[in-house]
Amino acid sequence: MSEKIKSRIRLIYGICLSVLVVAVGVCFAVSCVAIYKSGARPFTYESIGAQFDVIRIPVFICLGAIIGGFALAVFMPSGKKTLASPSISEKLTRLRLRREMTDGARREVKYRRVLFAVGAAIWTLCAVPSVIYMLNTDNFYLDAQNPNPSIIAFMKLLLPCVSVALGVGVVIASIARASVLREIAALEAAPKREVVEKLKKNTRVIFAVRAAVLVIAAVFIVVGALNGGLADVLAKAIAICTECIGLG
């Protein structure tokens, strides 16, 4: 089978799997909404089992497609072997080591610190109400036969906090990525570090010295072997060992 046909099969499989995953996700969301609206006591084994039993077949099909993807990767591997390009963080680290830090790069670093501090403050504010609610045991001393009111009350408090925290996280990640790209652009335009150039030269000198020492050592070993030095060394080693352990 040609590589072109294999590529088409992998593409079709990827599209089908994506559609299946989205469809199963939508089914789960619809089932959760149906369970919530099923009555005064929605969270029961019967209601949950009845709703999830409806989407059992799509879930099994999706799991089978995922397992089939592993088989497809084993029996129909991609013939293209490309080197992984460095990530943004790796590229930034290399540039920081090789280039001089400019005012623009320092400004972006400070900007991201402030951004992450604001994000941490917002995440803490989102977590505080949930923690306070869970620490108050009175919120959970309800009828053991009907725990739905406590679950619903907790979800009404938790879902807005989680939604805000996730939204803030996505926004901060996008802004931080843009800031990193600006820092990379600023570092790429900056001059190279003189220390790095000196280190490169010193590394070449050290490598040359090590290579010369290795060659000289190999030459002396060969000369000693040809002169009978190995026999002398072996005799002395035997004498020292036998004298140390009292056999001589």
| Pairwise CA distance, residues 45 & 53, whole Å | 12
Write down the mean pLDDT value for the chain.
Answer: 79
Task: Decide if 44 contacts 10 (C-beta within 8 A).
Answer: no
Which pLDDT score is estimated for 70? 83
Question: What does the block give as tokens for 63?
Answer: 């799991």
Q: Is the pLDDT of residue 158 over 60?
A: yes
Most confidently modeled range among 41-55, 60-74, 168-182, 228-242: 168-182
What's the pLDDT tens digit per position in 126-155?
889 888 887 877 776 655 566 667 777 777
What's the pLDDT tens digit per position in 179-216?
999 988 888 888 876 655 555 566 777 888 888 999 99
**In the chain, where the domains are located:** 3-75, 88-188, 194-244
Residue with the bigger pLDDT between 84 and 122: it is 122
Task: Decide if 130 contacts 158 (C-beta within 8 A).
Answer: yes
Lowest mean pLDDT among 102-111, 115-124, 125-134, 222-231: 222-231
Q: Is the pLDDT of residue 248 over 50?
A: no
Mean pLDDT to the nearest integer, 2-26: 86
pLDDT band at 86 (very low <50, low <70, confident <90, very high): low
Compute the radius of gyration of the chain from its Cα atoms: 34
pLDDT band at 218 (very low <50, low <70, confident <90, very high): confident
Which pLDDT score is estimated for 209? 86
Buried/exposed 150-180: b ≥16 CB within 10 Å, e otherwise: eeeeeeebeeebeeebeebeeebeeebeebb
Q: Which of 128, 137, 136, 130 is nearest to 155 (CA)?
A: 130
Lowest mean pLDDT among 17-21, 42-46, 213-217: 42-46
Q: Is the pLDDT of residue 83 over 50?
A: no
Q: Is the pLDDT of residue 90 over 60?
A: yes
Which pLDDT score is estimated for 145? 61
